[in-house]
Structure 1
Amino acid sequence: MHRISYLLTDGFQVLSLATQAVFEFANIAAQEPFYTVEHFSLTGGTVRSSLGLALDTQPLEAPRLADTWIIVGVTNPLPTQSSPQTLEFLRRAQAHARRTVGICTGAFILAEAGLLAGRRATTHWAYAHEMQRRYPDVSVEPDRIYIVDGAIWTSAGMTAGLDLALGLVEKDLGADIARSVARKLVMHHYRSGGQSQHSEMLQLAPKSDRIQRALEHARKHLSHPLSVEELAEVVNLSPRQFSRVFSAETGQSPAKAIEGLRLEAARLMIEQSRHSLDVVARETGFRDRRHMREVFLRGFGIPPQAVRRDARTPPRS
């Protein structure tokens, strides 16, 4: 039996508790009570979420053994700091646990305890740069769903915790059980840890239907040249009008936005398929493999080969 212990603080983000459904349905899929779940806080008793949900917890008492500790984040991690007792407990507990996990801004608590020093980690995109500023000895990767570095797992914000929990299940019980759980939870797609936190279409967020239509056209025809003239014709504007309206609504030029869509599509193809890089470059509209590499280095800081390698590398336990 695998004991999972959640560490909560007042103001915790309630969506983090949704990860417990992953372990519940893993038990059902495995046809045995593989996981048990408990809740803890520093002094025990009632802990309230940011929305006011009250949850009863047990106090942290050494020695408290668990196979996996999951540190739950709060909605805003910046104003507060963890108690010295909590940080000391985590340092001791991490030495005995199989894994220590920070969901969303729970990574800040792990960093405070020194457990992320010299490691790769991620957190909610809105706080990633602040985390890097506060903890320069941590290699913060702000554009990842979750990261596994040895026995430390960290996830991006909100629903990314579900992907991390499925990653834990896959590590413990295998890919078939993880896929079964994802289907039962009606998760459209189980995202690997290397995937981006962002959708380029969401980030552009055009205000009008006509610019949305142009972007949808571009997304469906990335292998085409996609000139301004072509996109303008789709929405019945002159090229000059289209460029002006597009930039006003998205904050980017059409060329820059299309490059972002190509980059996102290429990364997904690299992560999720076995197509050669030449095929990926052609299908997503880059001039050739070399051009795609240049754009990857500019956009992600790593070449396409590194993205494929990360997607195929199994998590370290």
Structure 2
Amino acid sequence: MQSVALAVTDGMLHFELSLACEVFGSDLSHLVDPWYRFSVCGPGPVAVDRFRLEPDEGLDALARADTVIVPGWRDVDREPPAALVEAVRAAHQAGARVASLCTGAFVLAAAGLLDGRRATTHWAHTDELARRHPDVTVDPDVLYVDNGSVLTSAGKGAAMDLCLHLVRLDHGTTVANTVARRLVVPPHREGGQAQFVRTPVPAPGNHPLAELLPWILARLDEPLTVEDLARQAGMSSRHLTRHFRTVTGTTPLQWLHTQRIRHAQELLEGTDATVDAIATTTGMGTATTLRRHFHRTVGVPPDAYRRTFRSLDRGGAGG
């Protein structure tokens, strides 16, 4: 029997904690017998949002588990408790597979488990994770990252994706899909799929692209070139590229491509426009071109992306 221990302390997010309990702590022996042996481990009674939680065992029990799950951590501006960090580190050293949900990645990073590894967390906190832990390769654009013995996820719905991924690894796709149907969530989203978030345009301000960027966004349907952008900005292509690197962190054409993909996401989420029409509106030209670039960038085809969002709207499984 695979044992799963949920590491808790004051300040954990109740949603991620609850979904881990639902997936691993429910009696699903009718699917696989035996199911997981599940326990909640903490230093004593802990406060989780407005609730009080009585753990089954102390934090030292993490070292005896096959899998340790660290839920989201609310106050990422301060360091997680040293006792929790040490217990998670000891569990990994003892051979446990350690997975974080959402901002639980800050606990794994503090324990040194993410050094030299690729990791993710909720997109709103990826910059802070990278700033505080420069030895971690933080990827803000994926749902979850599987490094074998160390796994991290983005927030909310992506935390569920990681839990189902663990079930899939342990018990196979059929069982994982059955669990997903029971929970009324999408059965499978690959970890490399992009987090469903929009990259914001840099805020208006005193930078050389302040007027150019809105001008581009109003013309995403046009076949713009670097020369077109440079001409509008009144500078050379070389200077334009240099300013784009400084302001957006990427090249003019890559930024333009990203905005077209983001606009396509918005149209897929909020309208019934056909893929052909969206391709025209976003400057991709044809549905074939849009499908190719969208799949490469987001990780799923446009039609699958739209179906996922429609199912989330109906089932309330957002994240």
Q: 1:261 aligns with which of 260, 263, 267?
A: 263
Aligned match of 1:66: 65
Q: 2:176 aligns with which of 178, 200, 210?
A: 178
CA distances 1:48-99 after superposition (whole Å, capped 9, x unpaired): 112x21111122237831000111222221124321x433332221022341
Q: Residue type of the partner of 1:304?
A: R
CA contact (8 A) 2:164 2:180 kept: yes
Aligned match of 2:163: 165
Matches of 1:49 and 1:158 in 2, distance apart?
Answer: 16
Aligned match of 2:296: 304
Q: 1:127 aligns with which of 125, 129, 141?
A: 125
How far did residue 255 of structure 1 move?
9.8
- Local SS of the residue matching 1:81: coil
Aligned match of 1:220: none
CA contact (8 A) 1:15 1:159 kept: no
Q: 2:149 aligns with which of 132, 148, 151?
A: 151
What aligned pairs does 1:106-125 form with structure 2 within 5 A after superposition?
A: 106-125=104-123
How far did residue 199 of structure 1 move?
4.5
Q: Residue type of the partner of 2:46?
A: V
Aligned match of 1:23: 24
CA distances 1:209-265 after superposition (whole Å, capped 9, x unpaired): xxxxxxxxxxxxxxxx9958xxxxxxxxxxxxxxxxxxxxxxxxx998544234799
CA contact (8 A) 2:41 2:62 kept: no
Q: RMSD between aligned alpha carbons?
A: 3.9
How far did residue 178 of structure 1 move?
0.7
Q: Residue type of the partner of 2:38?
A: V
TM-score normalized by structure 1? 0.64
Q: Residue type of the partner of 1:191?
A: R
Q: Residue type of the partner of 1:123?
A: T
Return closer, same or farther for 1:35/1:126 CA change in 2, 3 Å cut-off. same
CA contact (8 A) 2:4 2:24 kept: no
Aligned match of 1:13: 13
CA contact (8 A) 1:29 1:181 kept: no
Instruction: Name structure 1 gaps, 5 residues minimum.
Output: 205-224, 229-253, 267-280, 297-302, 309-317
What aligned pairs does 1:131-280 form with structure 2 within 5 A after superposition?
A: 131-200=129-198, 227=221, 258-262=260-264
Aligned match of 1:233: none
Matches of 2:154 and 2:168 in 1, distance apart?
Answer: 18
Identity of aligned residues (%): 35
